Structure formats: structure tokens, C-alpha cells
Amino acid sequence: MQENVRYVKLDLEKHCQDKDFEVCATKVYFNTRHAYIIAIYRAPSGNFDFFITKLDTILRRLHTVTTEFIICGDINIDYLTDSNKKSRLEALLKTYNLTSVVKFPTRTQKHSTTAIDNIFIDTSKMRDYTICPIINGLSDHDAQSISIHSFIQKPPHKKYRFTRKINEHTINDFLIKLSYENWETVFSTDEVNKMFDSFLTLVFH
């Protein structure tokens, strides 16, 4: 991490379980916003249900309206083919508006080509990015490099709600004001509709 970048390491060790879900993360600050960079690993033989549950737990814990996530790692789920595991992971990540951006193979063997390493971001806010493989010859997996050129930060949606304060003081004030009103027009008839119309006229005059 560059020295001029502010960041905080996160302690997620309690969520880790060998082969099933291995995770580390850091919180990086960018001026008025921040992002969690989360690296995960799941072994091919790992418990997938445990993986999904723990990933959801961490994302729910960290998520806020101003939070950005960048998730990367070797998840051993091939994104070049459809599968039940891919569908379940996509469904979970969509609840946090996260999308896979690796569209190329990350592991090539003699008889197979797969994309089992991935990066997930919110492409509605990180629209300007470039991603490419890095073939280094040190592993049977290729690395991935992503450059995010800008964040599009949506302003938080503000909701306003008007409420009437009801307490002993406001109730007494209301009763005093009612006592000053002339109710003769309201009670001058026995017809409910006319009484109600008179009441509205009295109240909103």
C-alpha cells in the first residue's frame, strides 16, 4: 500500500475456516469516501454453503450507504460456464450491487480453460475502469490487474418526514384554541355530513 494512502487493516480472522472461507481485508480512504478491499479464497473441496454464509455476514457487517466494495480472489467458481454455485454467488453479490468484471480465462491447462479467479465491483459507481490479465509464469493461475480511474459517488437520498409533536403542552394548547371557537354552526343540524362540512369550514377558515 502506498505511504500516502490512508488505510486500516480489518481483523476478520474469526470468520476464517481453512479451505472453506479464507479472507483478509483493508479499509482504504479516498478523500470523503472509502472502500473495503476484500481478498477471499475458497478451495475446490471447500464447503460452499459455509462460504456463502460467511461472505454475506461480512458484507452485511461492513455495508453502509457510503461504502464501496472491491472483492477479489480465487473462489474456484468458473465464471465462463453456468452453474448452481455461480448463480447463488451472483444472487448474493447483486444484493450489494456487485458484479463480476473478469471476462477472460484466469487458469489455462492442457484440456481446460476457466475463470476461477475474479474481481467484483459496483460498476454503477466505478464505471471508468480497465482490467487485464497478468501472465507471470509463476503459477498455473494468471493474476488480474484492475485500474479504477474514478468513483461516481451518488449523493445520499434524503427523506423528509413531518410529524406533529404531541405532549401535555401541545394538548393543552389545542384545548384552549378549541374553547375559543364558535360551534353553533356545527351543531345547528342533525345531519352528519353537514356537521362535518361545517366543522371543516370552521377549522380551515
> Which of 16, 89, 88, 25 is CA-nearest to residue 54?
16
What is the pLDDT averaged over residues 72-97?
A: 96
Bridge partner list, 41: 22, 74
Indicate the CATH number of 7-148 among 3.30.1330.60, 3.90.1150.10, 3.60.10.10, 3.30.70.20.
3.60.10.10
- Asked whether the predicted pLDDT for residue 154 surpasses 80, the reply is no
Give the per-residue pLDDT at 9.
93
More confident of the two residues 11 and 159: 11
pLDDT digits (tens, 9 = 90+) for 166-190: 888 888 888 888 787 777 877 888 8
Instruction: Say what the pLDDT of residue 67 is.
Output: 86
pLDDT of residue 156: 56
Mean pLDDT for all residues in the chain = 87
The domain locations on the chain are 7-148, 168-203
- Which carries the bigger pLDDT value, residue 193 or residue 157? 193
d(CA 159, CA 153): 18
- Please determine, for residue 2, whether its predicted confidence score (pLDDT) is greater than 60: no
Q: Is the pLDDT of residue 57 over 90?
A: yes
Do residues 41 and 83 lie in contact, with contact meaning Cβ atoms separated by under 8 Å?
no
The per-residue pLDDT for 203 is 63
Cα distances (angstroms) measured from residue 95 to each of 63, 88, 90, 92, 164 = 11, 11, 9, 6, 36
Residue 30 is predicted with a pLDDT of 74
Q: What is the pLDDT of residue 205?
A: 60
| Span 105-133, pLDDT tens digits | 999 888 889 999 999 999 988 888 999 99
Nearest Cα neighbor of 73 from 117, 105, 116, 11 is: 117
| 154: nearest Cα among 28, 67, 37 | 67
pLDDT at 159: 73
- Using pLDDT thresholds of 50, 70 and 90, give the confidence band for residue 204: low
